[in-house]
Each structure stands twice: as structure tokens, then as C-alpha cells.
Amino acid sequence: MLRDFGPDVQGPDEFSWRHTTDAAREVAGLNGLDAGDIPAAGGDPAQAAAYQVSVIAWLGYDPPQLDSTVVDAAGSARAQEGATNLESFVNGLRVSHDAGPIAREGGNEVQVMKRRDAEKNLRDVADQTAGILEMPLSDWDVSASPCENAAGELATDGRWVLSGAGGVGTVAPENQIAMLNRLRDRWTGLGYEITVFHLLPDGGTGGSVSAYVPGSGVAVTVQSTVKRTGMAIIVDSPCYLPAPGEDPANRGY
């Protein structure tokens, strides 16, 4: 979370400069700095403006440490490392939100699906994928949301999509490319349509592979985690119409 404070802060819902300084010192403490490392902005806007104080808070995860990662944050290396994972994730969302399995095969009908059946379909694909990798599936979770068309508009007729994600534990970086190759070959043999096979630019520590499961419209992606310590499995359903009495797009069930 990032918020910038200028010298014209006013109103009961805004922070004063003195509050800003206190917050900056608190956040600095999370990074191992002393309070003295943050200059006091005081209550003088003119003095505060000279420092152009901003406060950055990391919510839900550790702040960067005062080591090489701070220097890396100023360049593009971290963004390039995450680009493959983001691309695979976005591709999965696009696949799952744009068309149902029947529409993908040339028709216009979208299937009616009970949520529990959709959950089973996604879990079966995830378990099969983990089996090919010869590792147990862990931390599996699913969530439902409205379908979305190519223009980014959400469906208003109850059409919904289910997405699931999990992992397979620790995988050494030097073994990840071999696993991706194994998946691509096995999926091809099973009749999956490979849509993405991408290795990271360094050539030896990971990448991603994505495919459609034949006859179902389900899309599955396996990719290296950002820190290259494991492999993530992401499975997305096509768009469905809700079963009678259900509304997954808006109520979850």
C-alpha cells in the first residue's frame, strides 16, 4: 500500500505531517532502520515539503530487506521474472471467461453446471496433473466469479466460472524444466491442446505450460513459482450457466 502526502493535507480524514513522520518511522522499523534514519517533518508544511515524505506499508507479506533485493527493486529484473507467471495467469483467465466448451467447439450453447460438479472436474484435472509430476497436490482452493467477455464486461445472466489453484511442494530449479517437458509430452499424448510452452529467459530455472483439456473446455496451467522454489497448478473452467437454485457468480454457491 502506497500513499503520498503533500503539504496541503487538510480535513479530519487526512493525516497530518506529524502523523506521516510517525508512520514513516514505524514502517522503517519493520525494515531494521532506526527512528533517527527518518527526518522529522514536524508540523511545518514548508519543512515537510522539503522531504517529500511518502509512507509504504507491506500488508500480508514481509517488506524487502536492506540487501541486494532493494537494489533489484529499482530495475526490471523482478518484473521480468514475474512476467511469465502473470502471462500464464491472464491467459487462464481469458480462456475460462471467454467461452464455454460447446461454444469453443463451434456451438452457441453454454452448459448448465452444478458447482459441486465443476469443483470435481477441476480437482480431477489438478490431481491428474500432480500425478504426472509424481508429487502430491497441496493447498488446493477454488473460487467462483462472473464470466467476462472480451470487452471486460461481466455477465449479468448468472453465467459463472470456477478457478482453482494449488501447488506440488518444493521443486529444485534445475528439475523444473524437465517437469514442464514431461507435462507437455504427456498432455499431448492425452489429446490436450497445448496453448503455451514458455521457458524463462535464463534458460535453466523454470517456465510454464498451459493446455485445454479435450471435450471439457477446462484450461490448466503449471508454472514455476516466483522464487523458483516450486510449481503451481492453476485450473480454470469454461463459462457455465448456474444450476437451478444456485448462483455461484454472485453468492459463491
Helix (H, G, I), strand (E, B) or coil at 82: helix
Nearest CA to 83 out of 226, 243, 209 is that of 226
The domain total for the chain is 2
Domain boundary among 19, 43, 72: 72
Domain boundary among 72, 88, 114: 72
Domain shared by 207 and 168, yes or no: yes
Domain shared by 127 and 234, yes or no: yes
**Rg for the chain, CA atoms, rounded:** 24
DSSP β-bridge partners for residue 234? 165, 221
Domain shared by 46 and 155, yes or no: no
Range of the domain at 218: 77-251
Domain shared by 35 and 152, yes or no: no
Instruction: Give the pLDDT of the chain (253 residues) as one tens digit per residue.
Output: 334 444 444 444 444 444 445 555 554 554 455 555 555 444 455 554 555 556 666 665 566 666 655 556 656 666 666 665 566 556 555 544 444 443 343 345 789 999 999 999 999 999 999 999 999 999 999 999 999 877 778 888 899 999 999 999 888 888 899 999 999 999 999 999 999 998 887 766 789 999 999 988 899 999 988 888 889 999 999 999 999 999 998 887 7
Domain boundary among 72, 92, 112: 72
* Total residue length of the chain: 253
Task: Name the H helices within the chain.
Answer: 17-30, 45-51, 68-72, 77-98, 101-104, 115-132, 173-189, 248-251
Helix (H, G, I), strand (E, B) or coil at 36: helix
Helix (H, G, I), strand (E, B) or coil at 121: helix
DSSP β-bridge partners for residue 220? 211, 235
Domain shared by 68 and 84, yes or no: no
C-alpha 160/C-alpha 238 separation (Å) is 8
